Amino acid sequence: MKSSYMSLQEPYSPEDIEGFLKRFQLHEALKLIGQLSQEWFFGKTPATKVIGGTPVACYVLAYLAMRSIESSNDYRKNVMTVPDMLKAVDMYWGLPDPIEVESGDSSESCLLRIAFNQFEYNRPIHYLLPRTFAIYRDVWPRVPNTIPVGGVIEQISGLKIEEVLIMAYAFSKRAQGGFFRLYPDSLTTDPRIKDIFTLEKQQSFVNWMARGYREFREESKAERKKLPSSYYEKFRFNPLVKYPVIKPDRNPVPGEPPVYLLPVARLLLDKVTRGLYFELSDHFQGPDKINPFRNSFGFVFQEYVGELLRDAIGKDVVFPERKYGKGNKDSTDWVIACGDRCILVEVKQSGSISTPSYGATLARSGRA
């Protein structure tokens, strides 16, 4: 359906989208995008929805939020409506694609670009918070010969890992209207919650997550310069991945506490889970290609997968990596042995430019 829709699309340029978005008051446009991204995509089955005959995807809303920050400001008089936003989505689908100028057989690269855009926003996120919590707080300390990361997480964020994850979940739910304010100091008398949601800790979290318009534009401009041509406009890196929270230039309600905009709520959860992996990786990166964090993470994630296997199948049939042969070689990371059959499990971590993905590869199944 989407391909047939795109084939009938009127062509548009990045300048066309800029000219359209610059008409609208920025903080209201971001608020609307955030509200709709929550309503249409957050916590629901990932999909491209058709609204008023226009296909809408979460990554398209993220792109429009980025372009709105680049193009507009808080002092415009026009307020964006849903039909206005759908018009902008329609213009997105009309942007050119590199396949139009690439030489040779470019169908594969075209499919890879589209799939990468969709995959980052379509894969489920419900498991990310508990997995991140288990890896960094529970599994990491008990794996020998790994670098300590707890103190570095506090150095980066100002918070312990459990505080980071609780706050990310709370603010992502609080922003159902596309924005949030800090929780009041009188939120609750429960000491467990009160100790986490102090104004100081909330501000530390927001300072880590958020950027103002000027800083965001600088990041976005730098990324745009990396494009080989304007044909790659749809696929450039979106700084919302790094800074999912936006601080407007002016408070929409003077006298109220500062407001923070969250155009795409799922990016807040990505930032504190998959994004944390990259922040820690960057922190420990030395002048050479050896990264002690990634090395340690490999062993920790291997242990985490083993824990899942033991819990699901039973510890009596799950065996860890061992040395064998004349060269003292390593076996696969885990062996599941039951009767005369076994499954060999190799655990891999892979880091990409935007997000890491982890997985246990079933290497081979056969008779023992």
State mean pLDDT over 208-227. Answer: 95
- Percent residues over pLDDT 70 in the chain: 88
Q: Which residue has the tokens 């079933």?
A: 362
Give the residue, 108 or 78, on which the prediction is more confident.
78
Distance between CA atoms of 319 and 316, rounded to whole angstroms? 8
The ranges assigned to domains in the chain are 301-367
In this prediction, residue 38 carries a pLDDT of 93
In this prediction, residue 365 carries a pLDDT of 37
Q: At what angle do helices 161-174 and 265-272 cross, to 10 degrees?
A: 180
Read off the amino acid at residue 189.
T
State mean pLDDT over 115-139. Answer: 85
Q: Which pairing describes strands 179-180 and 260-261: parallel, antiparallel, or unpaired?
A: antiparallel
Distance between CA atoms of 153 and 167, rounded to whole angstroms? 14
- The string of pLDDT tens digits covering residues 24-79 is 999 999 999 999 999 998 877 667 889 988 999 999 999 999 999 999 999 999 99
CA-based R_g, the chain, Å: 23
Task: Find the range with the poorest average confidence among 102-106, 180-184, 236-240, 324-328.
Answer: 102-106
Instruction: State how far Cα 123 lies from the chain centre.
Output: 10
CB atoms within 10 A of CB 169: 14
Distance between CA atoms of 211 and 357, rounded to whole angstroms? 26
Q: Are 136 and 293 in contact (CB under 8 A)?
A: no
In this prediction, residue 361 carries a pLDDT of 37
- Percent residues over pLDDT 90 in the chain: 66
- The string of pLDDT tens digits covering residues 68-96 is 999 999 999 999 999 999 999 999 999 98
- Exposed / middle / buried, residue 192 (Cβ in 10 Å: 0-12, 13-18, 19+): exposed
**116 CB-near residues (< 8 Å, 6+ apart):** 235
Mean pLDDT of the chain: 87
